[in-house]
Amino acid sequence: METLIEFFSFEYPNIKYVVFGTILLSISSAVVGCFTFIKKKSLVGDVVSHAVLPGICISFLASGSKDPFLLIIGAFISGWISIVVMDAIIRNTKIKEDAATGLALSVFFGVGILLMTYIQHSGNASQSGLDTFLFGKAAALVGIDLLAFSIIAVIVLIVVFLFYKEFKLISFDPQFAKVIGLPIRRLEIVLTSITVLAVVTGIQAVGVVLMAAMLITPAAAARFWTNRLSKMLIIASVFGAFSGISGAFISYSTPSMPTGPWMVMILSIVALFSFFFAPGRGIVINQWRRFKIQQQLLEENLLKAFFKIGETNNDYFKEIEANDLRLARAFSSGQLTKGLRKLNSNGYVERVGNAWRLSKEGHDKGKRITRLHRLWELYLTKYLRIAPDHVHEDADTIEHVITPELESRLEQLLDYPTSDPHHSTIPGRN
Amino acid sequence: MDAFIIILTGSLVAVSCALLGSFLVLRKMAMIGDAISHSVLPGIVIAFLLVGSLQSVWMIIGAGLIGVLTTFLIEFFHQKGKLQTDASIGVTFTWLFALGVILVTYYAGNAHIDQDCILHGEIAYVPIDLMYDDAGNAIGPKAVIVLSVVLALILVFITVFYKELFITTFDPDFANAIGISSARWHYLLMGLVSLTTVASFESVGAILVVALLIAPASAAYLITRDLKWMLMLSSLFGIVSSFLGYWLSYLLDGSIAGAMVTISGAIFGICYLVTVLKK
């Protein structure tokens, strides 16, 4: 707790800088990541982040200094080249996107490793620290480095702000953007450039491999909470900023802990939580919804079977054995036990010894489902001219979702019919 | 002698990767291979902490499982969570890799695997890391023995199940229809990919394995239309990369694995130019 207060009081200017820097970097990559996510090109970030390595090495070899601006220029150029190479491979050969992506990523990185080890072994004294690009050094972002990377992050954010509408359009619907006369190629170049810039700056914090996460993960997590791009950008930024602060805090309170991997770890936890528990799109809620629907289908099908048997016997409230239900419709024994128990607790059927009897409510519900089923069968034969022996399956599906309004419309349309295409009576309203 | 052992190790890794990589490229799953090669890291660290050695049966089994788990998670988020594949891959492997790096840093004192080795390995140490029999006599370099076993396994797997692999690669629907489960071969292949990654880990590192999986196979894919030829050519490209890579790294005094990848990239570049110019 003390560490927490100490951390957030920003007593040491160093902490202030680190926190400020990581938040800025996280936000700029999260925002850019949303656009690559929508274009379904998330892994481009992964390619670029590996591909900047040879650029960094070459610009160091050429200039002999670690001036961050020079390194950024080198990184920017080789990041761009990797994208051009990848596109050329996809366009000119039968190699698919996945292999082209992996190829650009790993070969550029291999060249980078070769150059970096060459520099390290060459005995150049000023090279030390160049390898922080591999794993990042968020906790040690200070001075001119921090300044350089913050400026770029701010530029990235400003460009996104200015071109928001255009980027949105070329990401969602490039065809339409072209038709209304937007300069697609130029906009794509701007968007790719800021993606490369965001990657170049982010690498400083988290390193080559994990940079992909800074782009992809906030966007993927945010997508589970909203359907609007504007909101997605904000949510992704918040997730990014949160992971930045938490990562900085963890490595502050436990100095042996690396900042970058922890930032990614926290982002991933946020993302996994979103995948499972986000309302609306989360996996848990979806499975639950599915379960509920299956339960409703089972209940309604059972009641329909009860009603059908009652119809044949001319007595809806006679006791019926579970096996008789199976003659009316193929229920598994598990379904029968589960469904009947549920119907019983809802008061739709009651147990009489070994058999079951419909209650008044159960009868009414079974009657309504049967009615909807037969109305729909009639509608299909009459208006869509489908043969009577082909309409059952369709009606079996839709009977569960027809609303009372639709029911009235159907009735009206069919002129208040009394029998269906199979000459069964359509039961009246309750 | 050392040079021979290093080139041999490189060739063993390269051929194993080229054979599996050919199937990955054809099945459009190169990036899943990339994901697996990163995500085995936490598995390696955990197995190392439990068993205390980098080359054990447990390590291999653990790696196989975590590779299959990665594949499964990617599929799971894609299908149940309706998350697009590219993002699903990206989120899954970075998460597991971050976990691995955290574990490595935390147990840095115990495990003699450090961060650099994760990225590019150190093949130059292979000749001095020997394996001993019960009597304490050196049998040979550990990595060479382990990698030979892995390569043998892959060769047997591909020869015996060539038909199944062929059919599930080119026409999974037809395979399913005649009772060959595409999913089973998918997961078996992924298990082998992670096994190879783990076995190659110390010598070439996690990321350069990806290059050896994809580059020789893609180069071969460009110049042949026959699967058997593709397997042979990609293996050949792998071996050439190993030879020339060693030479290049000697010239530049740089990482051998990095140089191997550079050469395999160059081979791909040549094949690319040949195809494009012919058109």
How do residues A249-306 score in pLDDT, each as one tens digit?
888 888 777 888 899 999 999 999 999 998 888 899 989 999 999 999 999 998 988 8
The structural domain count of chain B equals 1
Instruction: For residue A406, give how far its alpha carbon lies from the nearest alpha carbon of chain B (Å).
Output: 31
DSSP string, A29-97: HHHHHHHHHHTT-THHHHHHHHHHHHHHHHHHHHH-S--HHHHHHHHHHHHHHHHHHHHHHHHHSS--H
Q: Which of A63-72, A74-83, A396-405, B84-93 has the lowest mean pLDDT?
A: A63-72
Which helix (H) or strand (E) segment is A358 a member of?
strand A355-358
What does the DSSP 8-state code read for residue A128?
A: T
User: What is the distance in angstroms between the Cα of A260 and the nearest Cα belonging to chain B?
Assistant: 8
Do A198 and A29 form a contact (C-beta atoms < 8 A)? yes
Q: Which of A130-134, A418-422, B229-233 has the highest mean pLDDT?
A: B229-233
Residues of chain A with CATH 1.10.3470.10: 2-278
Question: Quick check: A257 and B102 CB within 8 A?
Answer: yes
Share of chain B above pLDDT 70, in %: 87
Class of the domain covering A282-430: mainly alpha
Nearest to B214 among A40, A102, A282 (CB): A102
Query: Which chain A residue shows the shortest CA-CA distance from B32?
Result: A98
Q: What is the helix, strand, coil percentage profile of chain B, to 5?
A: 80, 5, 15
Q: CA–CA separation, A35 vs A168, rounded Å?
A: 8
CATH number of A2-278: 1.10.3470.10
Q: Would you tell me how many other CB atoms lie within 10 Å of the CB of residue A386?
A: 15
Record: contact A134-B116, CB cut-off 8 A: yes
Query: Start-end ranges of CATH 1.10.10.10 in chain A?
Result: 282-430
Q: Number of CB pairs < 8 Å for A and B? A: 218
pLDDT of residue B17: 93
Of A266-280, B70-84, B117-131, least confident by mean pLDDT is B117-131
Work out the mean pLDDT of chain A and round it to a whole number: 87
pLDDT per residue as tens digits for the range A165-188: 999 999 998 899 889 988 988 999
Interchain proximity B279–A275, CB inside 8 Å: no
In what side-by-side order are the strands of the sheet with A349-352?
A320-321, A355-358, A349-352
Residues 6+ apart with CB under 8 A from B254: A113, A114, A115, A116, A117, A118, A121, B248
Q: What ipTM did this prediction achieve?
A: 0.90
> Residues A22-55: pLDDT tens digits?
888 899 999 999 999 999 888 888 899 999 999 9
Judged against a pLDDT cut of 60, whether residue B113 lies above it is answered with no
Q: Residue A170 is which amino acid? A: I
Report, as an integer, the average pLDDT of B77-94: 90
What angle do the packed helices B182-223 and A97-121 form, to 10 degrees? 70
CA–CA distance, A258 with A106 (Å, rounded to integer): 24
- Cβ contact, residue pair B249, A114, below 8 Å: yes
Helix (H) or strand (E) holding A349: strand A349-352
The residue of chain B nearest to residue A96, with distances taken between CA atoms, is B28
Judged by a CB distance cut-off of 8 A, whether residue A264 touches chain B is yes
Whole-number average pLDDT of chain B: 85
pLDDT on residue A29 = 92
Query: Which of B88, B268, B279 comes nearest A103 by C-beta?
Result: B268
Residue range(s) defining the domain that contains residue B187:
2-278
**pLDDT band at residue A429 under the 50/70/90 scheme:** confident
Q: Do B275 and A95 touch (CB under 8 A)?
A: no
- When pLDDT is averaged across residues A110-132 and rounded to a whole number, the result is 78
- Look at residue A408 and tell me whether its pLDDT is greater than 70: yes
Do residues A130 and A57 lie in contact, with contact meaning Cβ atoms separated by under 8 Å? yes
